[in-house]
Amino acid sequence: MDTGSLDAALGISDSVTTTVGISRSIFVQKMAPPEKRNLSAVLLLTLIGFLCLRGSTGFILGGLAMMAVGVYGLYNSIRFNRETWPRLYRRWLDSWLCHKCGNVYHHP
């Protein structure tokens, strides 16, 4: 049974395409919960920087720069996920969508 057609008609589902990425309706974007920051990119950057420390002087300098950017990004992302995200998520939980005018209201 296709349960997605009703959601799609109401505009409340993500439509996953076979091409690149996910296209979302404006409605879904407006009501989407805040996302936590993904740490994989900064972790990968830090790891690559670390591996560059084994190379020549140029590689070591580049590696140190990558590690500095990676660690800084990691610190920022962890801090966001720990301190900012719970506040945003709490606010999202307390928000309501008006189906008449489409506005989102915050009502704790």
Q: Is residue 107 close enough to count as binding Zn ion by CB under 5 A?
A: no
* Strand, helix or coil for residue 106: strand
To Zn ion, the closest distance from the beta carbon of 17 in angstroms equals 31
User: Cα separation of 41 and 15, whole Å?
Assistant: 26
Residue whose beta carbon is closest to Zn ion: 98
Distance CA 48, CA 70 (A): 9
- Shortest distance, CB of residue 99 to Zn ion, whole angstroms? 8
Q: Which is nearer to Zn ion, 1 or 98 (CB)?
A: 98
Q: What element of type H or E holds 104? A: strand 104-106
Site for Zn ion in 33-62 (CB under 5 A): none
Q: Which of residues 67-106 bind Zn ion (CB under 5 A)?
A: 98, 100-101
d(CA 44, CA 36): 17
User: By C-beta, is 75 or 96 nearer to Zn ion?
Assistant: 96
CB-facing half-sphere around the CA of 45: CA atoms within 13 A: 17
Q: How far is the CB of 101 from Zn ion (least distance, A)?
A: 3
Establish if 26 lies at the interface with Zn ion (CB under 5 A): no
Q: Which residues bind Zn ion (CB under 5 A)?
A: 98, 100-101
